Structure 1
Amino acid sequence: MSSTSFSEEDFSCPVCCEIFKDPVLLLCSHSFCKMCLQQFWGTRGFRECPVCRKRTSQENPPLNLQLRNLCETFLQDRSQRESHNFSHISETVLEYKREVNVKLNNLREKLKALCKVQITYDEKAQHIKIQAQHTERQIKQEFEKLHRFLRDEEAARIAALREEEEQKSQMMKEKIEKMNREISSLSDTIRTIEKEMGADDVTFLQVRTSFI
C-alpha cells in the first residue's frame, strides 16, 4: 500500500509525536521509536506500554520493519512534495520578480524623466534669479543717474537763486543807500530852512534866494 494513503499521524510515535525512528513493536501491537520506549521505561522504572499500560517482559522488542519502510517511504514522498511546492514557489516568486522588475524599470524611467524636468526647472529658476538681479542693478543705476541729475539740478537752481538774491539785494542796498543820502540831504535842508526862518527879517531876505 502506498504511504500516500496514510496521514502523518499514522506514522507518528505516541511518545515524541514525531515520525517513527527505528520503530519497535510490542506484544500489545503498539509501536514506538526504539529510543523513546527505552527512555520511557527508564523513567518509569519498569517495562509497560506507554499507550495501553500493559506490562511486558520484552527487554528488546523487535523492529517493526514494515512500519519503518512505510515511514521511510512517507518521508520520501513528503520530501518530494515539499520539493515540488518549493519549485512552484520559486517559479511564482520569479514571475512576481519579473513583474516587479518591469514596474521598477518604469518607475526608474519616470524618476529619470522627473530628474530631467527638475534640472530644467532649476536652470529656469536660476535664470529668472540672475535676470532679476541684472534688472535690479539696471534700475538702481537708472535711479542713481536720476538722483544725481536731480541733485545737480537742485544745486544749480539753488545757486541761481542765491545769485539772483545777491544781485537783487545789492540793487536794493544801493537804492536804500541812495534813498538814505537823499533823506539825509533833505533833512539837512529842512533844518537849515527852519533855522533861517527863525532869523531876523534882514537875514531872512538875504538867504531866501538860496532855496527859492
Structure 2
Amino acid sequence: MKMLHCRKVSQTCQQASRHNQAEAKLAEDHVKREFETLHQFLRREEAARLQALRGEQDEKTRGAEQRRDEINQVIKSLEEKIQLAEEVIDAGGDGVKFLQDYKDTLNRY
C-alpha cells in the first residue's frame, strides 16, 4: 500500500512538474510575443521620427539655399552698380558729375 501511495505521489509530482514547465513555456512565449510587438512599434516609431527629421533637414537646406541665392542676387546687383559707378567716374574724369548724379544712377537699377 505504501508503495502504491508513493507511486501516486511520484506521478502527481511529475504531472505537477510537467504542468509547471508547460505554464513556464506559455509565459515565456507570451513575453516574447509582447516584446516582439514592442520592438515592431519601436522600429515604426524610429522610422517615422527619422523621416520627419530628414524632412526638417531638407526644408532647412532649401531655406539656406534660397537665402544664398538671394544674397548672390544682391551681390550681383551691387557689383553691377559699382561697375556702372566706375564707368561714370572714368568717363567724367574727376567724378564730380557722378557725385551730382549719384542718386539718379542708383535709381536706374
Which of the residues 20, 26, 29 maps onto 1:128? 20
* Alignment partners' CA distance in 2, 1:150 and 1:119: 46
Q: Which residue of 2 aligns with 1:187?
A: 79
Q: Which residue of 1 aligns with 2:105?
A: 210
Q: Which amino acid aligns with 2:36?
A: E
Q: Which amino acid aligns with 2:19?
A: H
Which of the residues 147, 154, 162 maps onto 2:46? 154
Identity of aligned residues (%): 32
* Alignment partners' CA distance in 2, 1:147 and 1:175: 42
Q: Which runs of 5+ in 1 are unaligned?
A: 1-108
CA RMSD of aligned residues (A): 2.1
Which of the residues 112, 131, 142 maps onto 2:34? 142
4+ residue runs of structure 1 moved beyond 6 angstroms? none
Give the 5 Å matches for 1:107-122.
Answer: 109-122=1-14
Give the 5 Å matches for 1:26-175.
Answer: 109-175=1-67
Q: CA deviation at 1:181?
A: 0.9
TM-score relative to the length of structure 1 = 0.45
Q: Identify, as 1 or 2, the structure richer in helix.
A: 2
Query: Deviations for 1:30-70, whole angstroms, at most 9, x for unmatched residues?
Result: xxxxxxxxxxxxxxxxxxxxxxxxxxxxxxxxxxxxxxxxx
Larger radius of gyration: 1
